[in-house]
Structure 1
């Protein structure tokens, strides 16, 4: 990314741009220009140019309501860095075990904004498989792993994510009414299990469970996914306890490795 110097050293300008990027990326809700301006300590014109550069590079996204959120490029870079971290290493054997129990595709995803980023995947043994890829993003509100992750959030955090978000219809089963979505998230919160009944892709169903450690800001989920012609609701219900057990085991192992929260 090429930044304008404005009479400053390149390093200083880059450092300030990185600070702006970090401010938006670590915020607990989308930030408007005036909010970024208030904490950045930079001149209005300089900040506007930096934000414009970051949006052009895909590191930030300017929403229709004029609020800034992390961009897809930044999320993909974050996903790549997560690929080698402790979380994926801890989860891997449990994903393999869940795959061995079900024979279908197993996903590990982390919530970033209103999307789920897939961190890991164990492919189905069947001839017909999922076309998902590690590092790809999907809408959280209409995927099993996404809804599982969303269910762990409190009301203010949910409002921050859903405010101004268009609930786009992908299939006839997609939930596009916010009240209906909130009611389903409450059910998921109570049961610890989420379903995707062909809500994101026609012919694709899944069952998922949340992975959440609020003290470490980890909001994620694990799921088993398969084509509808061989995975009916009865099969999803049968897998549900195994998926929930895998999620709890992953969090238990992660807590044991990392030790008490600081």
Structure 2
């Protein structure tokens, strides 16, 4: 390789490293429960104080982060705008959207669309029920797949080998007294989900919140997702969950059919 090519590679390596560090900082702030002070970010960063200050200043200048009146960092409007446009242009989300609204209309409860990423489910869309209930799920949030209806439904589409590989070494945190405690319990639950075609979350991730969910997958199994109907346990009885199960399955099937028609090979 000539010197010009070597210099170009070195420059790309430096730029990639810098970009990676900036993205990591965005992750730290975006995933925090609230605005973060500089010292909080410093404690989670491997950057020297001066370097970290410069990087945060660059992100603020670009509108990716903001600083509130107390000097704390939070996500900037520019990043929120980019995220909003990304969600709006997501083809899978666009395909699913009318089916989500129909499911919400017939059940009256909140409907979620989530996609599996590793051992987590990322919420792509949410249609609030007629009586909105405060819950953790928000578009863009990630939740453990093993204790959420959408996550377990998506996991059920994996073959046995891939499922075992993904949950190997997984730490099972007890979010509630109903959370599945280990891999054996999860595998048993997945077997039941495969047999009946839908999953339940019976206060496993959030106390007082229940749901029924159906799996969605592309023909090549490259994308695994799920759709759910969710509501408060005091209102959503087991009878209601059972009654909504075929509705969730029908919505998932309709989404998959539209995926084949609109995202399949073009001739």
| TM-score where L is the length of structure 2 | 0.70
Q: Which has the larger radius of gyration?
A: 2
1:177 aligns with 2:173: no
Q: Report the more deviating stretch, 149-158 or 239-248.
A: 149-158
- Identify the match of residue 133 of structure 1 among 135, 138, 145: 138
Whole-Å separation in 1 of the counterparts to 2:10 and 2:165: 34
Structure 2: stretches of 5+ with no match in the other structure: 1-5, 28-79
Aligned to 2:164: 159
Alignment of 1:1-262 (within 5 A): 11-13=11-13, 53=21, 56-57=24-25, 81-215=86-220, 217-260=222-265
Whole-Å separation in 1 of the counterparts to 2:155 and 2:103: 22
- Paired residues of 1:79 and 1:135 also in contact (CA < 8 A): no
What SS does the aligned partner of 1:170 have?
coil
RMSD (CA atoms): 3.2
Aligned to 1:24: none
Q: Report the more deviating stretch, 161-170 or 82-91.
A: 82-91
Structure 1: stretches of 5+ with no match in the other structure: 1-5, 22-49, 60-75
| TM-score where L is the length of structure 1 | 0.71
Whole-Å separation in 2 of the counterparts to 1:256 and 1:105: 27
What SS does the aligned partner of 1:111 have?
strand
Whole-Å separation in 2 of the counterparts to 1:81 and 1:8: 31
- 1:159 offset after TM fit, Å? 2.2
Whole-Å separation in 1 of the counterparts to 2:16 and 2:86: 22
Whole-Å separation in 2 of the counterparts to 1:212 and 1:89: 16
- Paired residues of 2:218 and 2:259 also in contact (CA < 8 A): no
- Paired residues of 1:105 and 1:130 also in contact (CA < 8 A): no
Count residues in correspondence. Answer: 211
- Paired residues of 1:79 and 1:117 also in contact (CA < 8 A): no
Whole-Å separation in 2 of the counterparts to 1:220 and 1:10: 40
